[in-house]
Structure 1
Amino acid sequence: MELLNDEIKTKIYEIRDTKVMLDSDLAKLYQVETKRINEAVKNNIDKFPSDFVFYLTKDEEENLKSKFSTSSWGGRRKSIKAFTEQGVYMLATILKSKIATEVTINIMRTFTKMREFALNYKDVVIELQNMKEELKSTKENGEQNSHHIKTAFELLSQILDDTTSTDKNLIGFRPDKKG
């Protein structure tokens, strides 16, 4: 089994303006049952303040489920827990398995890469927003608008080139293959 950066990225959601991972997704990654995650938190509640883990509201759960065409959650009895980056790390220290350690290292690297990406391209996003505002105010000037659009596409192409040239070997979890 190979666990790559892109696979983990799909399990990181933004809820309440915070990047989080859900208990069920972490359980799959750590190869344990979700109830094992919940027991670990319950037995070590002092290690999980509200900025490490929180329960999703019904509205947040519905909003999240609506983003998927089919739900595999099938009627959970307990509320969904969302773990922040710090909560994921704390969970790994409690689970204390080799898989939990290796997966957490990969998750931390993914969070770091996402943060670096956001910081690196913050200026590009600001520039695109400024261009959008200029386009709104200069609708009559077609030539200037064409120039702005061309510049925007050049910036987006640069971002795509940068992201595809990332060394994927640095990020990933590959258990030793035996046999």
Structure 2
Amino acid sequence: MRERLDQAIGLREEGRAKQDQAILAEARALLLELAAAYPDVAEVHYQTGVAHDNSGMGRAAIPYYVHALELGLTGADLERCLLGLGSTYRSLGQYEEAVATLRRGMDAFPANRAIQVLLSMALYNTGRHKEAMELALTKLMETTSDEKLLYFGRGLSYYAQHLDETW
């Protein structure tokens, strides 16, 4: 199984890098065979979800991501799965599911800025504008090296938490 899974991952990565739908279809076919043969292997289902996502088939990716999570996916694959699933939910307009998934990702992987930014976007989509801006501004200030932003850093960091305050 490991050899076939590694082959499928290699194909998926090549297909994604080249944006080649034929290669991605080959990867998906191999992963679908593996998912049928190994229904209890989290990594197989996670990779099948990624292959569908990379192919622009987000809706089809969701059950594979969810099943991988149910099977106890761990480590870097868990981090990427939560990111992929949350992003997919958001792109499909399933904003509450996106927020829940991305919050789980942010709690488990607090250093992952991509999860944080996607959570900010999903919060915006649910009408939680203040929380979305607070998260986005806080993460921007934590990661910027822009001198003009840093000059106003103390004020921007304060107002990220107090958006409704005035002088």
Higher gyration radius (CA): 1
User: Same fold per TM (> 0.5)?
Assistant: no
- Higher helix proportion: 2
Q: TM-score, normalised by structure 1?
A: 0.27
- Higher strand proportion: 1
Q: TM-score, normalised by structure 2?
A: 0.28
